[in-house]
């Protein structure tokens, strides 16, 4: 858990419920190898993906008054695709904090772009559940969008 404190510093957010952060950083391969049942990040990823899409759409709607629906959709896709999210996850070194199963670790899963993007979406979901929409929106705008929208 001390390791996760470093992640909290990197993202400038301290979790009240540390289990949410732990779950966000737990890949299913790690959970499946655990002796006791362990929650992993896929449900948080699902939630985080939806929140990210919503925040991106809201920001684009508010800041691009004269763009068509097609242009807004194209621009949103820039900020919510796996390639971009994996890049952002690498910048905050999410791979260092991922709990991976033995096989996934051997396959260098901490550098796998899909694992990184999924963990970042799970982190968004965890921050939302631990706080509120305003807080997760701030995280998304500053860390993921870098205030570019």
pTM: 0.94
Catalytic annotation, pick one of 49, 59, 104, 130: 49
Catalytic annotation, pick one of 59, 104, 121, 130: 121
- State yes or no: is 121 an active-site residue: yes
- State yes or no: is 62 an active-site residue: no
Instruction: Per residue of the chain (149 residues), give pLDDT as tens.
Output: 458 999 999 999 999 999 999 999 999 999 999 988 889 999 999 999 999 999 999 999 999 999 999 999 999 999 999 999 999 999 999 999 999 999 999 999 999 999 999 999 999 999 999 999 999 999 999 999 987 77
- Measured distance CA(86)–CA(81) in Å, rounded: 9
Question: What number does CATH give the domain 2-144?
Answer: 1.10.1520.10
Q: Are 15 and 21 in contact (CB under 8 A)?
A: yes
Token output for 131: 């706080």
């Amino acid at each position: 858990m001390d390791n996760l404190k470093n992640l909290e510093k990197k993202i400038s957010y301290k979790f009240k419920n540390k289990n949410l952060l732990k779950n966000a950083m737990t890949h299913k391969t790690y959970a499946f190898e655990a002796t006791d049942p362990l929650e992993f990040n896929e449900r948080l990823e699902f939630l985080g993906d939806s929140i990210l899409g919503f925040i991106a759409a809201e920001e684009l709607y508010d800041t691009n008054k004269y763009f068509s629906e097609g242009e807004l959709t194209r621009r949103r896709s820039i900020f919510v695709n796996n390639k971009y999210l994996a890049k952002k996850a690498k910048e905050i070194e999410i791979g260092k904090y991922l709990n991976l199963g033995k096989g996934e670790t051997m396959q260098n899963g901490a550098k796998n772009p899909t694992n990184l993007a999924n963990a970042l979406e799970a982190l968004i979901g965890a921050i939302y559940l631990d706080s509120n929409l305003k807080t997760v929106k701030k995280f998304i705008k500053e860390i993921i969008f870098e205030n570019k929208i």
